Every structure is written in C-alpha cells, then in structure tokens.
Structure 1
Amino acid sequence: MRPLTEDETTVFFEKLARYIGPNIRLLLDRPDGPYCFRLHKDRVYYVSEAIMRLATNCARDNLMGLGTCFGRFNRSRKFRMHVTALPYLSAYAVYKVWVKPAAEQSFLYGNHVLKNGLARMTENTPQYQGVVVYNMNDLPLGFGATAKSTQECRTMDPTGIVVFRQADVGEYLRDEDILS
C-alpha cells in the first residue's frame, strides 16, 4: 500500500470532482480524524490514517484490502469508480437525479435512465456532469453522467437517454467477483 503519485492523484481527483465538486476536502478533513487515499494492487482505498498506520505491520502480499475501495486504475492508467464509493458520493453529491419507481428496476439491471423514468433532476445540471441516481425515497441507487442538461431534458422525447449509467447497486450481485 502506497500513497498515490502526482499523476494518479490528478486523474483520481478529477474523476471524483465530477461527482462531489469542491467537497473533496470534506472527505479528507473529517471531525473524527484525518483520512487519506492509498493505492494497493491498482485499487484506490479510502482509509483512516490511524488504521493505515496499523496496516503497515502487515506484509503487502498478505494485505487484501483496507478501508473502502473507491475504484481502480486500468492498464492505460484511467480511473474507474466502483459502486463501493456510492455512500461517500451520495453524501457529498452536487448534482442528483431521482427516478420513478417503474424505472428503478431497469436501472438496477444495468440500463441507462430514460426520460420517461426521470422523476426529478437538480436544477442547472450541465451535460456530461457526474450525478448520483436516487429512488423517490432518497435511497442512492448508483451514479452516472448526464446525457443532456436540465434544460434539454425538458424538451426531449420520452425514450431519450438522460443519464448514462456507470455503476449501480445491482453490481454487488452481477459483478461480485471483481468488486472484492
């Protein structure tokens, strides 16, 4: 387990800023103690500094993971967020989308959010902005990127894509072997 390099930090924080904007600093400077991001086997983990110091007693080969996995770097050094980061993204999200109960199951099966399944959307959401998808009971279901801005969504046809799905809680069942 090691700290992220400067390039890795830049790529990771740019991806994270798409969803939570300037709230990144709230993740690091918490009232219950400082937290940090560490890289282990191409995965980025969010962990308390106190627990991270205790983990240095374990050999790297014996350490499976530590803290919450936010995602991983692929071979071309691009970062992909995992659904395991959803509780933190939903707590600090700037832009949000709510889906109707009829579209909730479709989203959880891995489909994009369509206009006919859209219930509400944060005002002035720009195009290709990272959003957290909620059901009508404010339960976070996943996250993605907007296909259209809020203004464009008002005039589009009912079968048009509003949010491109990037991860949803259904992945816990569909992709459990790669999330661990």
Structure 2
Amino acid sequence: MRPLDEKETTIVFEKLHKFVGNNIKNIVLESESHEGPDPNPGRYCFRLQKNRVYYVSESLVKRATNIKREKLVSLGTQIGKLTKSGKFHLTIQCLNLLAANAKHKVWLKPTSEMSFLYGNSVLKGGVGRITENIQVNDGVVVYSMTDVPLGFGVAAKSTVDCRKMDPNGIVVHRHSDIGEYLRMEDDL
C-alpha cells in the first residue's frame, strides 16, 4: 500500500470534487480519526493498493506496515478504482463519504426507489425533491425521501430543465447504487 502520486491524486480529487464540490476540504483537511491507541487524533489519507484507492486513517496505515503488501487485501474504505487507461471510477463503498459531503442531491419518491435499486436511471416522474443549481454532468447523490443514501450518478439535465421535461425523461444517470451488493453477489 502506497500513497497516491501527483497524477493519481489529481484524478481522484477531480472526481471527488465533481460530487462534493468545495466540501472536499472536509474529507481531506478537517477529518480527524479517532481510531487506534494514539492519544492524538490523526487524519485520513488516500492509499493505493492493487489499483484500488482507499480512504484510511493514518494511525491504521502505521499499524498496517507490519503486513506484507501481497498479503494485504484491504485497508480502510475502498472509494474507487484506477483503470489501466488512467481513469478513476468511484465504487459504492464511498457512498457514506459522498453522502456526508454532497453538494447536489436528488430525493426519490418511494414508488421509484426500487427501480433505481435495480440499476435504472432516475426519471423525472420519480423525483420527490431536487437541490437547486444542478448543471448537466454534475455529480449527484440519490436519497430516499427519508434521507437514506441510495446511490449516486451524474445529472442528465439541469434543475431548470428538469422542471420543463416530461415525466419519462431521465434526470440522473445511475453510476452506482446499494442494490449492487445483491446484483453482484456472485462476483464477490
């Protein structure tokens, strides 16, 4: 497990910035870890292991140095994966991190939650509420009406355009949702 290099850090932060905006400072600078025996709280950092990016406390990283790299499977929360082509894809495991710092949010009506959890995009007819000032291709976190984070995706239309469109128009293209745990059960 190693720290991200400059290029990898830029790619990861650009993707996170798409979803959390200026709240990225809450993730990087102002997050304090309360793990481990150390009396001084550490910070969280990003580490790379086998093309997977993890969000982990510094105290846990220090304790994991006793484990060989090839024996280490996971450490902290996996937030995404770097592809061989140099792109970064967020995984569903980062949903709690995104939901706590989300800039743009969409709440689904109870009738359309299951459709989203089966892997479909969010239609305008299923939107209960939507935050203001969403632009096309902004990162959006999708919630139920009871504020339970269900997944995330990319806005297909701006907030202004959503008000004018028909109920069958796509508002959010789904990237990941909590239903993946069941759909991908055989792969895990």
**Partner of 2:21 in structure 1?**
21
Long gaps (5+) in structure 1: none
Alignment partner, residue 89 of structure 1: 98
| Runs of at least 5 residues in structure 2 that lack an aligned partner in the other structure | 34-41
How many equivalent pairs are there?
A: 179
For residue 145 of structure 1, what is the amino acid of its counterpart? V
Deviation (angstroms), 1:13: 0.5
Corresponding residue number in structure 2 for 1:164:
173
State the Cα deviation string for residues 106-157 of structure 1 (Å, max 9, x = none).
0000000001111110011111100100000000000001000000000001
CA distance in 1, matches of 2:69, 2:25: 28
Q: Is the Cα–Cα contact under 8 Å of residues 32 and 44 in structure 2 kept in the other structure?
A: no
Q: Which residue of 2 aligns with 1:69?
A: 78
Matched, 1:136 2:148: no
8 Å Cα contact 2:152-2:174 kept in structure 1:
yes
TM-score, normalisation: structure 2: 0.92
Corresponding residue of 2:12: 12
Counterpart position of 2:155: 146
Instruction: Compute the displacement of 1:176 (Å).
Output: 4.0
SS in 2 for 1:131: strand
Residue 109 in structure 1 maps to residue 118 in structure 2: yes
RMSD of aligned residue pairs (Cα, Å): 1.1
Where 2:161 maps in the other structure, the secondary structure is helix
Aligned partners of 1:120 and 1:30: how far apart in 2? 29
TM-score by length of 1: 0.96
The 3 A distance-change label for structure 1 pair 177 and 2 is: farther
Aligned residue for 1:61, secondary structure, equals helix
Q: Distance in 2 between matches of 1:87 and 1:93?
A: 10
Q: Do the aligned partners of residues 163 and 66 (structure 1) sit closer, same or farther apart at CA in structure 2, a change above 3 Å counting?
A: same
Whole-Å separation in 2 of the counterparts to 1:97 and 1:59: 43
The match for 1:59 is 68
Q: How far 1:31 sits from its partner (Å)?
A: 3.5
Equivalent position amino acid for 1:34 in 2 = R
Which residue type is aligned with residue 24 of structure 1?
I
Which residue of structure 2 aligns with residue 40 of structure 1? 49
User: For 2:88 and 2:134, how far apart are their aligned partners in 1?
Assistant: 23
Q: Which amino acid aligns with 1:15?
A: K
SS of 1:172's partner is helix
Amino-acid identity (%): 55
